[in-house]
Amino acid sequence: MRPTHALAAILGLGIFSTPAPAQTAASAYSALDLKKCRHAPGKDAEFYGEWSCAGYAGIAVYVAAGDQRSYVSYGRNAKKEPAAKQTLASFNGEGDKIEWRGERNAGGMLKPYAAIMRWSTTVSSGDEPVKGQVLVVTRLGPGGVCHVGYVDGRANPDANALAQKIADDSARKFRCGTDKPIVLGTKGPGFSGNYAD
Protein backbone atom coordinates (compact mmCIF):
# COMPACT_ATOMS: atom_id res chain seq x y z
CA MET A 1 0.00 0.00 0.00
CA ARG A 2 1.32 3.39 -0.97
CA PRO A 3 1.96 5.86 1.92
CA THR A 4 -0.75 8.21 0.70
CA HIS A 5 -3.27 5.35 0.67
CA ALA A 6 -2.21 4.27 4.18
CA LEU A 7 -2.67 7.80 5.47
CA ALA A 8 -6.10 7.98 3.89
CA ALA A 9 -7.05 4.69 5.52
CA ILE A 10 -5.92 5.94 8.97
CA LEU A 11 -7.89 9.14 8.55
CA GLY A 12 -10.88 7.10 7.47
CA LEU A 13 -10.72 5.15 10.71
CA GLY A 14 -10.99 8.40 12.64
CA ILE A 15 -7.71 8.04 14.53
CA PHE A 16 -7.09 11.76 14.04
CA SER A 17 -10.67 12.75 14.75
CA THR A 18 -11.23 16.07 16.52
CA PRO A 19 -12.32 15.76 20.18
CA ALA A 20 -15.76 17.02 21.09
CA PRO A 21 -15.75 20.58 22.41
CA ALA A 22 -15.93 20.88 26.19
CA GLN A 23 -19.16 22.14 27.66
CA THR A 24 -19.03 25.69 28.92
CA ALA A 25 -20.85 27.24 31.85
CA ALA A 26 -23.92 29.34 31.13
CA SER A 27 -26.67 31.14 33.03
CA ALA A 28 -30.44 31.37 33.00
CA TYR A 29 -32.53 33.69 35.15
CA SER A 30 -35.90 33.56 36.88
CA ALA A 31 -37.78 36.04 39.03
CA LEU A 32 -38.70 35.34 42.65
CA ASP A 33 -41.93 37.04 43.70
CA LEU A 34 -43.29 35.64 46.97
CA LYS A 35 -46.70 37.14 46.18
CA LYS A 36 -46.99 34.62 43.35
CA CYS A 37 -45.93 31.64 45.50
CA ARG A 38 -47.95 29.32 47.70
CA HIS A 39 -47.71 30.56 51.29
CA ALA A 40 -48.12 28.65 54.53
CA PRO A 41 -48.34 31.18 57.41
CA GLY A 42 -46.22 30.75 60.51
CA LYS A 43 -47.73 29.69 63.81
CA ASP A 44 -46.07 32.40 65.88
CA ALA A 45 -45.09 36.05 65.51
CA GLU A 46 -41.39 35.34 64.98
CA PHE A 47 -41.96 32.85 62.15
CA TYR A 48 -43.45 34.50 59.08
CA GLY A 49 -44.12 31.25 57.25
CA GLU A 50 -42.97 29.28 54.23
CA TRP A 51 -43.34 29.86 50.50
CA SER A 52 -43.29 27.28 47.72
CA CYS A 53 -42.27 28.75 44.38
CA ALA A 54 -41.28 27.55 40.92
CA GLY A 55 -37.89 28.48 39.49
CA TYR A 56 -36.14 27.82 36.20
CA ALA A 57 -37.58 24.81 34.33
CA GLY A 58 -39.97 24.18 37.22
CA ILE A 59 -37.23 23.61 39.82
CA ALA A 60 -38.83 24.05 43.24
CA VAL A 61 -37.75 27.05 45.32
CA TYR A 62 -38.44 26.98 49.06
CA VAL A 63 -38.34 30.17 51.11
CA ALA A 64 -38.87 30.50 54.85
CA ALA A 65 -38.55 33.60 57.00
CA GLY A 66 -38.48 34.45 60.68
CA ASP A 67 -36.71 36.67 63.18
CA GLN A 68 -35.80 39.05 60.31
CA ARG A 69 -33.86 36.35 58.46
CA SER A 70 -34.56 34.33 55.33
CA TYR A 71 -33.82 30.75 54.32
CA VAL A 72 -33.80 29.64 50.68
CA SER A 73 -33.48 26.11 49.32
CA TYR A 74 -34.03 24.39 46.00
CA GLY A 75 -35.09 21.11 44.44
CA ARG A 76 -37.56 18.29 44.95
CA ASN A 77 -36.72 17.93 48.65
CA ALA A 78 -35.89 21.60 49.20
CA LYS A 79 -37.42 21.81 52.67
CA LYS A 80 -35.32 18.88 53.89
CA GLU A 81 -32.01 20.06 52.40
CA PRO A 82 -29.27 21.77 54.50
CA ALA A 83 -29.91 25.10 52.72
CA ALA A 84 -33.40 25.24 54.27
CA LYS A 85 -31.68 25.83 57.62
CA GLN A 86 -28.91 28.14 56.42
CA THR A 87 -29.06 31.92 56.55
CA LEU A 88 -26.68 34.84 57.03
CA ALA A 89 -25.54 35.95 60.44
CA SER A 90 -27.01 39.45 60.12
CA PHE A 91 -30.65 40.39 59.60
CA ASN A 92 -31.37 39.70 55.94
CA GLY A 93 -33.89 39.20 53.18
CA GLU A 94 -34.03 37.06 50.06
CA GLY A 95 -33.53 38.57 46.62
CA ASP A 96 -36.04 38.90 43.80
CA LYS A 97 -34.03 37.17 41.06
CA ILE A 98 -32.21 33.83 40.80
CA GLU A 99 -29.30 33.15 38.48
CA TRP A 100 -29.14 29.46 37.61
CA ARG A 101 -25.59 28.43 36.73
CA GLY A 102 -25.01 25.26 34.76
CA GLU A 103 -24.14 23.61 31.46
CA ARG A 104 -26.33 23.35 28.37
CA ASN A 105 -27.11 19.95 26.88
CA ALA A 106 -27.18 19.17 23.17
CA GLY A 107 -30.72 20.50 22.93
CA GLY A 108 -29.74 23.84 24.49
CA MET A 109 -31.46 23.19 27.83
CA LEU A 110 -29.51 24.36 30.86
CA LYS A 111 -28.77 21.78 33.56
CA PRO A 112 -28.09 23.91 36.67
CA TYR A 113 -25.55 22.92 39.31
CA ALA A 114 -25.79 26.13 41.36
CA ALA A 115 -28.12 29.00 42.14
CA ILE A 116 -26.95 32.55 42.84
CA MET A 117 -29.12 35.05 44.69
CA ARG A 118 -28.38 38.61 45.87
CA TRP A 119 -29.61 38.90 49.47
CA SER A 120 -30.04 42.18 51.36
CA THR A 121 -28.36 42.51 54.76
CA THR A 122 -28.47 44.85 57.74
CA VAL A 123 -25.34 44.81 59.86
CA SER A 124 -25.28 46.50 63.27
CA SER A 125 -22.30 48.84 63.38
CA GLY A 126 -22.18 51.61 65.96
CA ASP A 127 -25.19 53.91 66.14
CA GLU A 128 -26.42 53.36 62.59
CA PRO A 129 -27.02 49.95 60.98
CA VAL A 130 -25.21 49.35 57.68
CA LYS A 131 -27.17 48.11 54.68
CA GLY A 132 -25.42 45.60 52.47
CA GLN A 133 -25.84 42.97 49.80
CA VAL A 134 -24.43 39.44 49.72
CA LEU A 135 -24.48 37.13 46.72
CA VAL A 136 -25.20 33.66 48.09
CA VAL A 137 -24.05 30.74 45.95
CA THR A 138 -25.99 27.55 46.65
CA ARG A 139 -25.08 24.09 45.44
CA LEU A 140 -27.92 22.17 43.79
CA GLY A 141 -28.59 18.44 44.07
CA PRO A 142 -28.12 15.58 43.69
CA GLY A 143 -25.73 15.15 46.59
CA GLY A 144 -27.07 17.96 48.76
CA VAL A 145 -28.28 21.55 48.49
CA CYS A 146 -26.30 23.99 50.64
CA HIS A 147 -24.44 27.30 50.70
CA VAL A 148 -21.14 27.10 48.81
CA GLY A 149 -19.93 30.66 49.07
CA TYR A 150 -20.51 34.38 49.50
CA VAL A 151 -19.53 37.61 47.74
CA ASP A 152 -20.04 41.16 49.03
CA GLY A 153 -22.35 42.62 46.39
CA ARG A 154 -21.50 46.23 47.11
CA ALA A 155 -17.78 46.13 47.81
CA ASN A 156 -16.95 44.30 44.57
CA PRO A 157 -17.79 45.81 41.15
CA ASP A 158 -17.32 42.32 39.67
CA ALA A 159 -19.46 40.61 42.31
CA ASN A 160 -21.50 38.65 39.76
CA ALA A 161 -18.39 37.26 38.09
CA LEU A 162 -16.94 36.28 41.47
CA ALA A 163 -20.14 34.45 42.41
CA GLN A 164 -20.11 32.65 39.06
CA LYS A 165 -16.52 31.61 39.71
CA ILE A 166 -17.49 30.06 43.04
CA ALA A 167 -20.36 28.24 41.34
CA ASP A 168 -18.30 26.98 38.40
CA ASP A 169 -15.18 26.00 40.35
CA SER A 170 -16.65 24.65 43.58
CA ALA A 171 -20.38 23.87 43.55
CA ARG A 172 -20.27 20.41 41.99
CA LYS A 173 -17.52 19.07 44.25
CA PHE A 174 -18.64 20.88 47.42
CA ARG A 175 -19.54 18.54 50.31
CA CYS A 176 -22.46 19.84 52.34
CA GLY A 177 -21.82 19.63 56.07
CA THR A 178 -18.08 19.04 55.56
CA ASP A 179 -16.60 21.80 53.42
CA LYS A 180 -16.50 25.41 54.60
CA PRO A 181 -18.22 28.03 52.39
CA ILE A 182 -15.91 30.20 50.31
CA VAL A 183 -15.69 33.99 50.46
CA LEU A 184 -14.25 35.76 47.39
CA GLY A 185 -13.40 39.41 46.93
CA THR A 186 -13.39 42.42 49.22
CA LYS A 187 -15.56 42.46 52.34
CA GLY A 188 -17.16 45.82 53.14
CA PRO A 189 -18.99 46.97 56.29
CA GLY A 190 -22.31 45.61 55.02
CA PHE A 191 -20.96 42.10 54.49
CA SER A 192 -22.22 39.22 56.57
CA GLY A 193 -21.07 35.97 55.06
CA ASN A 194 -20.97 33.53 57.92
CA TYR A 195 -24.13 31.51 57.83
CA ALA A 196 -26.01 30.57 60.97
CA ASP A 197 -27.82 27.26 61.35
| Structure confidence by residue, pLDDT tens digits, 107-145 | 888 999 999 999 999 998 777 889 999 999 999 999 999
Long-range Cβ contacts of 32-39 (<8 Å, 24+ apart) = 32/61, 32/63, 32/94, 32/95, 32/96, 32/97, 32/98, 32/117, 33/96, 34/63, 34/94, 37/61, 37/63
Q: What's the pLDDT band for 71 if we cut at 50, 70, 90?
A: very high
Q: Give CA–CA dist 93/116, Å, rounded.
A: 14
Q: What's the pLDDT band for 196 if we cut at 50, 70, 90?
A: very low
Taking only the tens place, the pLDDT of each residue in 9-28 is 444 444 444 444 456 899 99
Q: What's the whole-number mean pLDDT along residues 150-154?
A: 97
Q: What's the pLDDT band for 43 if we cut at 50, 70, 90?
A: confident
- What is the DSSP secondary structure assignment for residue 35, as one 8-state letter? G
Mean pLDDT of the chain: 88
How confident is the model at residue 127, as a pLDDT? 77
How confident is the model at residue 45, as a pLDDT? 79
How confident is the model at residue 15, as a pLDDT? 42
